[in-house]
Amino acid sequence: MTTSKIEINLTNSRKEKPNEENLVFGRHFTDHMFVADYVKGMGWQNARITPYAPISLDPASIVFHYGQTVFEGLKAYRSKDQSIRLFRPEENFRRLNQSLDRLCMPQIDEANALEGLLELLKVEEEWIPKLEGNSLYIRPFVIATEAFLGVAPATTYQFYIILSPVGSYYEEGIHPVKILVENEFVRAVKGGTGGAKTAGNYASALKAQETASSQGYSQVMWLDGVERKYVEEVGSMNIFFKIDGEVVTPAINGSILEGITRKSIIELLAHWGTPVTERKVSMDELAEAHNSGKLEEVFGTGTAAVISPVGELNWNGKTMRINDGITGALSKKLYDALTKIQTGENEDSLNWITSLSPTYEEIK
Amino acid sequence: MTTSKIEINLTNSRKEKPNEENLVFGRHFTDHMFVADYVKGMGWQNARITPYAPISLDPASIVFHYGQTVFEGLKAYRSKDQSIRLFRPEENFRRLNQSLDRLCMPQIDEANALEGLLELLKVEEEWIPKLEGNSLYIRPFVIATEAFLGVAPATTYQFYIILSPVGSYYEEGIHPVKILVENEFVRAVKGGTGGAKTAGNYASALKAQETASSQGYSQVMWLDGVERKYVEEVGSMNIFFKIDGEVVTPAINGSILEGITRKSIIELLAHWGTPVTERKVSMDELAEAHNSGKLEEVFGTGTAAVISPVGELNWNGKTMRINDGITGALSKKLYDALTKIQTGENEDSLNWITSLSPTYEEIK
Ligand SMILES: Cc1ncc(COP(=O)(O)O)c(C=O)c1O
Ligand SMILES: Cc1ncc(COP(=O)(O)O)c(C=O)c1O
């Protein structure tokens, strides 16, 4: 993946862009993608931008059988001055490398990957939505391509970046969501792959998600797999609680995904002078806090939804209504602060943004 | 997957068959494969046998990102009378359906799947190895093909069956293997996907396997994810112990894969009048039994290796040598009994075999 050598092969049949008024999440893809190949002993090579097209793989490819694959998710925003803004992309490529390591897959060169992404964004600039609230979702992923039915790390891989113009993740927008606390199924356990962004974690979550959806809940909240007492995270978000004035979030423990939004919230609140406590949070504590009126706010954090206030938690059939089911002041303040940094409305005082000026000059 | 409608499209460029003397596991694939498509609301359709060829998938296909995929593994044997013999294939398709259910994937019609497999075997009959000890490994698998970046069950799937002529799984043959007891990493936990044959379980195992291999161990033995005390299973095998004359194996608990070889061993031993005890087996118990000279035999069971005697277990840096590192009498007896039923040398008194006569008449 030596970027000086990114080959660019443009399509000659551009797709029609979807209507920005009702963009759904993850259904539309742009005209091009970034690809690089890895061969053991030779490293990453053939970094290229090519027309978005099907991936052709031997039926025995390891990714189909043994799930050796990792991914990332981040967004590009168009600011009012027409520059293209990325929110902490270097954190995503760092986390991609952590995930790759857990799955015994080869490391990527983080700087080269970022450069590949920026090149791709230049090519696809017209795909970055213009409507407020919309953005271009970026999905880097690596798959094991070797055709081999033995359980062993592959010797060949492909790295892709695909792009998808998106609206809000939740159809409801920034309105509070209802979340079901999951008691039967477990997403991840210490010693497993919960800390990595890998396919198997999401596959294992589907069953619980299905039950939650059928009962009108938008996501599940996972408990730890050992004691089934402590909160881990939500479907595709980390989770924060404001209890009696204190902001707390489950500490990183090996089975929770270390979200970049989570990290940013912690840094932002510290910057504002209200440090977040990272520790174990039990469901008993939450139920007690709720009973005594001290569970003031609950919100999820993640790239897709940014901040997602929680209006209702259901645990063991009992419903905890939070902040009368309306968006709390802190949730709103954090949502506004983050989205305004992301879109360039507010100053980037924590130096989180990588941007391409309208003339494609990189600014950091 | 209505078998009356299996379309057959034969290749006109057959591959050269590999040398049977040194067949490696999972590297060679036959000329054709079985495929069927699923579309939500329409069910399985287009059952067909086509030339073995790459699978072409949208880069956003759910299988690449969220790991919605399950598989099976079984073998076809050529018996001395040239009939084609399958070992309990209906059990594999039943387990495939259990795995599909856990992953929120659509059920297959088990009888139709078996008929599809038999049709494929007729087409590929020449690929079934002739040399003793070799066989044709059969890999049915289902993948989620929908292009969608949301975490939700796909609405489209493909079911494949591919075939691979194989030698013994372990290069060492039926000689005892060395196994490392894993204390850091966990394969699966109650509430997770351990009971299903799905990609993520194997991806999560690679890291531990890598350490074990580098230390000269052929596989790892997994402990339970909650207490880290009880034996679960080995890489791709279930595990049995003979302790002071009693044969024991960890009870099925939701996180162990319910092996068909395991089940067959239990049934065979019951048939012989020596019932197996299915219960929790702790490492402490094993260490004590070893110290007092009562850990008589240890063996793994699985389709790939059939029976794999364990000559050495390493737990916390301490080595337990089992039966002086040689194959135990029970392991050998079970290996012989199973392989002779599989290859037709012995009578199929438990009615485990589905066979196709040399004239392709199905016999059960
Ligand atoms: C399981 C899980 N937890 C948390 C998050 C939040 O992470 P981030 O803030 O980096 O988007 C995500 C996803 O994006 C996720 O998939
Ligand atoms: C994790 C795991 N356990 C056990 C087994 C043994 O199952 P079976 O006897 O059906 O082959 C397998 C595989 O085949 C496996 O992958």
Q: Residue B31, Cβ neighbours under 10 Å: how many?
A: 18
Minimum Cα–Cα distance from B200: chain A residue: A200
Ligand 1 touching residue A138 (CB < 6 A): no
Q: Which of A29, A184, A199 is nearest residue B191 as measured by Cβ atoms?
A: A184
- The confidence score (pLDDT) of residue B175 equals 86
Q: Which of B185, B203, B225 is nearest residue A68 as measured by Cβ atoms?
A: B203
Domain containing B82: what range? Answer: 3-167+352-363
A257 CA closest ligand 1 atom index: 3
Q: Which ligand is nearest to the CA of A255?
A: 1
Q: What angle do CA B193, A60, A53 make, to 5 degrees?
A: 100
Ligand 1 touching residue A193 (CB < 6 A): no
Looking at CA atoms only, how far is residue A58 from chain B in angstroms? 4
Q: Which residues pair with A103 in a beta bridge?
A: none
Q: Could you tell me if A112 and A261 lie in one domain?
A: no
Indicate the helix (H) or strand (E) that contains B296. strand B295-302
Q: Which of B300, B169, B181 is nearest to B238 (CA)?
A: B300
- Does pLDDT of A218 surpass 60? yes
Which residue's C-alpha comes closest to atom 4 of ligand 1? Answer: A237
Q: Could you tell me if B151 and B34 lie in one domain?
A: yes
Domain contains A339: no
Cα separation, A353 vs A340, whole angstroms: 11
Give the best residue of B151, B214, B253 to mutate against chain A (max A CB count within 10 A). Answer: B151
Domain contains A341: no
Q: Could you tell me if B204 and B249 lie in one domain?
A: yes
Q: Could you tell me if A131 and A195 lie in one domain?
A: no
Domain contains A247: yes
Contact B142, B62 (CB under 8 A): no
Residue whose CB lies within 8 A of the most ligand 1 atoms, among A87, A198, A261, A263, for a mutation test:
A261
Looking at CA atoms only, how far is residue B99 from chain A in angstroms? 11
Q: Which range scores top for mean pLDDT: A174-188, A276-290, B166-180?
A: A276-290
- Does pLDDT of B170 surpass 70? no
pTM of the model: 0.97
Range A211-235 average pLDDT = 96
Domain contains A217: yes
Domain contains B172: no
Q: Which of A151, A144, A231, A244 is nearest to A183 (CA)?
A: A231
**A74-78 and A135-144 as β-strands: parallel, antiparallel, unpaired?**
antiparallel
Ligand 2 touching residue B219 (CB < 6 A): no
Indicate the helix (H) or strand (E) that contains B132. none
Residue A171: pLDDT band by 50, 70, 90 thresholds?
Answer: low
Range B319-336 average pLDDT = 96
State the CATH number of the domain containing residue B215. 3.20.10.10
CB contact under 8 A, A33 and B59: yes
Q: Which ligand is nearest to the CA of B300?
A: 2
Q: Could you tell me if B149 and B205 lie in one domain?
A: no
Which residue's C-alpha comes closest to atom 2 of ligand 2? Answer: B236
State the CATH number of the domain containing residue B24. 3.30.470.10
The tally of domains found in chain B comes to 2
- Does pLDDT of A4 surpass 80? no
Domain contains A203: yes
CB contact under 8 A, A60 and B235: no
Residue B40 has which token pair? 């939500």
Contact B300, B238 (CB under 8 A): yes
Q: How far apart are the first and last CA of chain A?
A: 22
- The confidence score (pLDDT) of residue B3 equals 45
Q: Could you tell me if B213 and B276 lie in one domain?
A: yes
Q: Which ligand is nearest to the CA of A265?
A: 1
Q: Which ligand is nearest to the CA of A73?
A: 1
pLDDT digits (tens, 9 = 90+) for B233-287: 999 999 999 999 999 999 999 999 999 999 999 999 999 999 999 999 999 999 9
In whole angstroms, how far apart are CA A52 and each of A10, A77, A206, B230, B233? 10, 21, 28, 48, 42
Q: Could you tell me if A17 and A51 lie in one domain?
A: yes
Cα separation, B83 vs B93, whole angstroms: 22
Cα separation, B322 vs B311, whole angstroms: 5
Q: For residue B322, how far is its CA from the centre of ligand 1 (angstroms)?
A: 46
Stronger pLDDT, A133 or A261, i.e. the higher one: A261
Ligand 2 touching residue B262 (CB < 6 A): yes
Looking at CA atoms only, how far is residue B82 from chain A in angstroms? 27
Q: For residue A237, how far is its CA from the centre of ligand 1 (angstroms)?
A: 5
Q: Could you tell me if A21 and A159 lie in one domain?
A: yes
A256 CA closest ligand 1 atom index: 3
Residue B1: pLDDT band by 50, 70, 90 thresholds?
Answer: very low
Q: Which regions of A94-151 does DSSP assign to beta strands (E)?
A: 135-144
- Does pLDDT of A362 surpass 80? no
Q: Could you tell me if A208 and A68 lie in one domain?
A: no
Looking at CA atoms only, how far is residue A31 from chain B in angstroms? 12
CB contact under 8 A, B193 and A209: no
N residues, chain A: 364
Q: For residue B236, how far is its CA from the centre of ligand 2 (angstroms)?
A: 5
Domain contains B296: yes
Q: Which regions of chain A does DSSP assign to beta strands (E)?
A: 7-8, 32-39, 43-51, 55-57, 69-71, 74-78, 84-87, 135-144, 156-166, 177-181, 219-223, 231-234, 238-243, 246-250, 277-279, 295-302, 306-315, 318-321, 353-356, 362-363
- The confidence score (pLDDT) of residue A364 equals 67
A261 CA closest ligand 1 atom index: 9
Range A37-53 average pLDDT = 98
Domain contains A345: no
- The confidence score (pLDDT) of residue B2 equals 44
Which residue's C-alpha comes closest to atom 5 of ligand 2? Answer: B237
A233 CA closest ligand 1 atom index: 3
Range A119-148 average pLDDT = 96
Looking at CA atoms only, how far is residue A160 from chain B in angstroms? 8
Which residue's C-alpha comes closest to atom 13 of ligand 2? Answer: B236
Q: Could you tell me if A229 and A154 lie in one domain?
A: no
Q: Which of B171, B167, B184, B178 is nearest to B213 (CA)?
A: B178
Grouping H, G, I as helix, E, B as strand and the rest as coil, residue A226 is coil
Q: Could you tell me if B89 and B216 lie in one domain?
A: no
Q: Which of A104, A200, A226 is nearest residue B201 as measured by Cβ atoms?
A: A200
Mean pLDDT of chain B: 95
Ligand 1 touching residue A260 (CB < 6 A): yes
Q: Could you tell me if A56 and A130 lie in one domain?
A: yes
Nearest 10 degrees: Cα torsion A59, A60, A64, A67: -160
- Does pLDDT of A303 surpass 80? yes
- What ipTM does the predicted assembly reach? 0.96
CB contact under 8 A, B59 and A52: yes
Instruction: For residue B102, list chain A residues with Cβ-Cβ distance below 8 A.
Output: 207
CB contact under 8 A, A147 and B235: no
Q: Which of A58, A60, A186 is nearest residue B189 as measured by Cβ atoms?
A: A186
